[in-house]
Amino acid sequence: MGVIGRYLVQATVPLTVLLGAWILSEHGSGDVGTREALRGTARIAFVPFVLTFIARPLNELHPTRVSRWLFANRGTLGVCFGLCMTSHFGLLLWLHYLSAPDIPEAVTVADYVIGGPGLFLVFVMLVTSAKRVHAAIDPRWWGGIHRFGLYLVWFIFLGCLVDSYGRKSPPYPASDYLPFIAVLIAAMGVRLGAALFGPNRKWARRAANEGTRGVTNG
Ligand code: HEM
């Protein structure tokens, strides 16, 4: 991890905590303020998540200084995302504490069934990003866990934002949702683009291999 990466990681926790504290001081530390803080921390986490999600495919499709930096620092960005989500988790605990013994009104079944495993996977990804743990895990397993986790989190972000946008009453402005949804779809476009047209596209390699085999065999 380079110097910038180290500063980024070190700044993530205080920045997210400060943002959460500022939102709570504006809206109160009750149900309303905690939900606002949950919305804010999710949006902060969104930034390092999307950068991690597009780092490799963007660098494959269109290498520039920026994409090379993203690619080289994608692990660091992923750690920043995981740390931001820790504050989402902390606020969730607080929300449950506020409404105990009942389940908080703001939490849906989908939050538990899909968001719960998603959050768990984020922590697994965070822990397995530590150098020693990473080195101890079979690279295929490590890659599989992290790839699956990235796609699952992408899906959860999209689901949360689309669902909340349609459900909130009174509604929040569209600008709180649509730009984030557009960025998510564009990010998936970058990944698909790299899978179809990038230099490491798997289907092309497979086709080339089959072609070669066909030639030698026949
Ligand atoms: C990787 C996992 C997760 C992601 C990516 C995620 C993402 C988000 C996003 C984008 C929002 C903002 C929605 C809005 O603006 O209305 C949000 C808010 C929220 N999330 Fe999560 N979340 C995750 C896990 C969870 C879990 C496990 C729970 C509860 C069991 C949860 C409960 C909430 C609640 C209560 C809010 C506030 C909703 C409101 O304002 O009414 N989240 N989350």
Q: Is residue 214 part of a domain?
A: no
Q: Is the CB of 159 under 6 A from ligand 1?
A: no
20 near 40, Cβ under 8 Å? yes
Residue 97 lies in a domain: yes
HEC readout, 60-98: HHCCCHHHHHHHHCHHHHHHHHHHHHHHHHHHHHHHHHH
Provide the sign of the torsion angle of the four alpha carbons 67, 188, 126, 9, taken in this order: positive
Is 175 within a domain?
Answer: yes
C-alpha count within 13 angstroms, C-beta hemisphere, residue 212: 6
144-201 pLDDT tens trace: 999 999 999 999 999 999 998 878 776 788 889 999 999 999 999 999 999 998 887 7
Give the pTM: 0.89
d(CA 160, CA 199): 33
The answer to whether 159 and 114 are in contact (CB under 8 A) is: yes
Distance 164 CA to ligand 1 centre (A): 9
Which parts of the chain sit beneath pLDDT 70? 1-2, 5, 170, 202-218
Residue 194 is predicted with a pLDDT of 93
Nearest to 62 by CA among 194, 192, 203: 194
Q: Is residue 107 part of a domain?
A: yes
**Residue spans of beta strands (DSSP E) within the chain:** none
Query: What is the predicted pLDDT for the residue at 166?
Result: 78
Residue 215 lies in a domain: no
Q: Is residue 217 part of a domain?
A: no
Probe residue for ligand 1, chosen from 39, 89, 124 as the CB with the greatest number of ligand atoms within 8 Å: 39
The residue segments making up the domain with residue 50 are 3-208
> How many folded domains does the chain comprise?
1
What CA–CA distance (Å, rounded) separates 210 from 212?
A: 5
Domain-embedded: residue 122: yes
Ligand 1 centroid distance, CA of 42 (Å): 7
> Which residue has its alpha carbon closest to ligand 1 atom 5?
157
Which amino acid makes up residue 13?
V
